[in-house]
């Protein structure tokens, strides 16, 4: 008898745990081909959760900094906001990852999704500077709960020989879904802006669809995607079941630091993280500052630029996983780092000419480099980790990265402010433009120097299943 679609997608709710365990050896042809061990889950559940999680996190992160800058957050405060987000999102990931190794992934993901659902809602009504900073911190906490647990889920269901390919596929589809939502909103707002001058009449009532309303709709969309994650997590079966006896034997997350290869990678990746994050507070300034591109009031253009970045990430991760599985983790990491070195200087044409369309160049460079780096770094970390410490390894990496990117982005806010004042004192009519260009050149040089460390990380052996 043919099962209905919802049963195929979500799995038969009447299936017992014993039946699941009995059925595991009889994996489907597709699962065998991809070396997946789904522990009774249907692939559709994993894909849906990945799509809605990515949409929730990306929509929030892509627009929040420009939103905060538009509503009065200063350059120094913006650097602090970016840095504290990096710190919080990374600081707890080691502990959260280890906790997921100990008690399982599902309950922890549920907590993270609930926080992600609640956080965007107050932004619709209240936008004081202190509240924007607090909101940013709490949202970063939800990310620190979700990311290591979800990365560990992907590690649970894959084998090393095809891990990067599967991560690349599921990530690329999630990114494309997120982009589709963003571009859809941007298209609608562009039509309202250009055809109706941001004024709509519905049932004899006049509505002004300005930046306030547009950003409100964005936060509703982010919250709704988290709500869908909450719904579908109920249909996901635990991918990491740990018995009471084994739970006591799971080592603490700090054991990962005894791994010499992992420790070397942590140092190199964290140092490079400082140079990565220096540029991050610059992006919202370039987009929203009135002396630069001044796009804060144009959601449609912001949507195109943020979507372009996500499109290039999504397209790259589709092929990036296969490349990573074919040529190895270390070569792919190095290629991605070389591309990311060029990201800061790729922003200069748009900044120098104040032409927003030229920022698509930097979005291409950053998107391709980020897509390759995401797949390779995740696969590299999971390959090094013992199966019962995948969450701890992923979390430890993110914790160190969060601390160092906190330092870089915090310093960046003060540097931008100081350079702006200095160039103004030297008589530059557009001092912020000169400051940004100087920062882009300096950051590129720093990235080049820090990137040499990746030449010395150890190779990981990918098993052939």
* pLDDT at position 29: 47
Average pLDDT of the chain, as a whole number: 81
* pLDDT at position 11: 39
Cα 298 to Cα 394: distance, rounded to the nearest angstrom: 37
The most confident of 114-118, 133-137, 205-209, by mean pLDDT:
114-118
Condensed to tens digits (0 to 9), the pLDDT of residues 272-314 reads 999 998 988 888 788 777 777 766 566 677 777 877 887 888 7
Banded model confidence at residue 244, pLDDT cuts 50, 70, 90: low
Condensed to tens digits (0 to 9), the pLDDT of residues 77-102 reads 777 777 777 777 777 777 787 788 87
pLDDT exceeds cutoff 90 at 69 = no
Query: Per-residue pLDDT averaged across 370-398, rounded?
Result: 85
Banded model confidence at residue 248, pLDDT cuts 50, 70, 90: low
Helices 390-425 and 129-156 cross at an angle (nearest 10°) of 140
pLDDT exceeds cutoff 80 at 40 = no
Residue with more model confidence, 37 or 169? 169
Banded model confidence at residue 8, pLDDT cuts 50, 70, 90: very low
Which residues share a beta bridge with 206? 201
Residue with more model confidence, 30 or 213? 213
Neighbours of 285 (CB within 10 A): 25
Range name among 43-57, 109-123, 285-299, 340-354 with the lowest pLDDT average: 285-299
DSSP secondary structure letter of residue 239:
S
pLDDT > 70 fraction of the chain, expressed in percent and rounded:
86
* pLDDT at position 176: 84
Range name among 89-98, 198-207, 390-399, 434-443 with the lowest pLDDT average: 89-98
Q: With contact defined as beta carbons under 8 Å apart, do 252 and 61 qualify? A: no
Which residues have C-beta within 8 Å of that of residue 314, sequence separation ≥ 6? 171, 172, 173, 174, 175, 176, 179, 371
Banded model confidence at residue 108, pLDDT cuts 50, 70, 90: very high
Tokens of 1: 């008898």
Range name among 28-37, 40-49, 250-259, 286-295 with the lowest pLDDT average: 28-37
The ranges assigned to domains in the chain are 40-237+252-456
Query: Per-residue pLDDT averaged across 166-185, rounded?
Result: 84
Range name among 28-42, 88-102, 399-413 with the lowest pLDDT average: 28-42
Query: Per-residue pLDDT averaged across 106-124, rounded?
Result: 93
Tokens of 28: 């489907």
Q: With contact defined as beta carbons under 8 Å apart, do 89 and 399 qualify? A: no
pTM of the predicted model, to two decimals?
0.71
Which residues share a beta bridge with 200? 207
Strands (DSSP E) contained in 74-230 are: 199-202, 205-208
Banded model confidence at residue 22, pLDDT cuts 50, 70, 90: very low
Banded model confidence at residue 35, pLDDT cuts 50, 70, 90: low
pLDDT exceeds cutoff 50 at 196 = yes
Range name among 5-14, 193-202, 269-278 with the lowest pLDDT average: 5-14
* pLDDT at position 24: 36
Banded model confidence at residue 403, pLDDT cuts 50, 70, 90: confident
Residue with more model confidence, 95 or 443? 443
Range name among 182-186, 216-220, 265-269, 452-456 with the lowest pLDDT average: 182-186
* HEC-encoded secondary structure of 56-102: HHHHHHHHHHHHHHHCCCCHHHHHHHHHHHHHHHHHCHHHHHHHHHH
Report the top-level CATH class of 40-237+252-456: mainly alpha
């Amino acid at each position: 008898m043919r099962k209905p679609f919802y049963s195929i997608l979500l799995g038969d709710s009447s299936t017992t745990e014993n039946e699941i365990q009995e059925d595991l050896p009889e994996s489907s042809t597709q699962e065998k081909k991809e070396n997946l061990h789904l522990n009774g889950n249907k692939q559709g559940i994993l894909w849906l959760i990945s799509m809605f999680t990515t949409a929730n996190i990306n929509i929030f992160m892509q627009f929040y900094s420009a939103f905060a800058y538009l509503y009065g957050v200063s350059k120094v405060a913006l650097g602090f906001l970016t840095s504290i987000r990096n710190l919080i999102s990374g600081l707890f990931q080691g502990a959260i990852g280890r906790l997921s190794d100990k008690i399982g992934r599902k309950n922890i993901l549920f907590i993270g999704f609930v926080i992600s659902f609640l956080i965007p809602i107050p932004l619709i009504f209240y936008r004081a500077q202190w509240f924007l900073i607090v909101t940013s911190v709490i949202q970063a906490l939800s990310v620190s709960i979700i990311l290591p647990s979800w990365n560990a889920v992907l590690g649970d269901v894959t084998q090393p020989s095809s891990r990067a390919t599967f991560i690349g596929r599921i990530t690329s589809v999630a990114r494309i879904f997120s982009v589709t939502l963003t571009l859809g909103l941007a298209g609608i707002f562009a039509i309202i802006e250009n055809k109706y001058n941001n004024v709509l009449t519905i049932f004899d009532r006049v509505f002004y669809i300005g930046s306030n309303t547009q950003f409100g709709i964005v936060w509703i969309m982010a919250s709704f995607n988290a709500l869908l994650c909450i719904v579908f997590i109920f249909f996901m079966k635990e991918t990491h079941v740990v018995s009471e006896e084994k739970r006591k034997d799971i080592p603490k997350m700090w054991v990962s630091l005894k791994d010499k290869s992992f420790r070397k990678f942590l140092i190199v990746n964290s140092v490079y993280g400082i140079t990565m994050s220096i540029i991050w507070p610059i992006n919202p300034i370039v987009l929203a500052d009135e002396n630069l591109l001044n796009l804060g009031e144009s959601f449609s253009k912001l949507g195109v630029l943020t979507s372009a970045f996500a499109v290039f990430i999504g397209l790259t991760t589709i092929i990036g996983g296969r490349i990573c599985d074919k040529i190895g983790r270390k070569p792919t990491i190095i290629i991605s780092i070389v591309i990311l070195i060029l990201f800061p200087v790729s922003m200069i044409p748009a900044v120098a000419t104040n032409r927003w369309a030229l920022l698509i160049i930097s979005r291409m460079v950053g998107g391709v480099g980020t897509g390759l780096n995401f797949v390779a770094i995740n696969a590299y970390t999971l390959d090094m980790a013992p199966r019962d410490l995948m969450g701890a390894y992923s979390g430890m990496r993110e914790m160190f990265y969060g601390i160092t990117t906190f330092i870089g982005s915090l310093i960046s806010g003060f540097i931008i402010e100081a350079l702006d004042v200095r160039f103004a004192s030297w008589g530059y009519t557009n001092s912020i433009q000169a400051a940004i260009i100087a920062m882009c050149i300096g950051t590129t040089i720093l990235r080049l120097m820090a990137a040499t460390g990746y030449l010395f990380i150890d190779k990981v052996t990918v098993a052939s299943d």
